[in-house]
Structure 1
């Protein structure tokens, strides 16, 4: 009986840890996407500044 209770507790713990891990992965994927977007924005800003410098 005690083994069944311990197994049930362990099973729930694994589910919760899996959920937390999934949330972390989703968070870091979101960060990676935001960094990619930021890099693209910085590249566009640099291009505009380079064009302005050439016209000046």
Structure 2
């Protein structure tokens, strides 16, 4: 019985240490990669929606 208690305590210590290590390794979360491409632009599309142009008539 004492052996089972020692084994259970050892397993709990191992689980606690593994949890702390996992939190430290991934503490920053998942950060997105920095892109080296140009930012998206609308090109030659109008700067305001066509619906607002129709309402002026």
Q: Name the structure where helix makes up a greater proportion of residues.
A: 1
Taking the TM superposition and a 5 Å limit, the aligned residue runs for 1:1-56 are: 21-48=1-28, 50=29, 53=31, 56=34
Larger radius of gyration: 2
Stretches of structure 1 lacking an aligned partner (at least 5 in a row):
1-20
Stretches of structure 2 lacking an aligned partner (at least 5 in a row):
35-57
Q: What is the number of equivalent residue pairs in this alignment?
A: 34
TM-score normalized by the length of structure 2: 0.49
Aligned Cα root-mean-square deviation (Å): 2.1
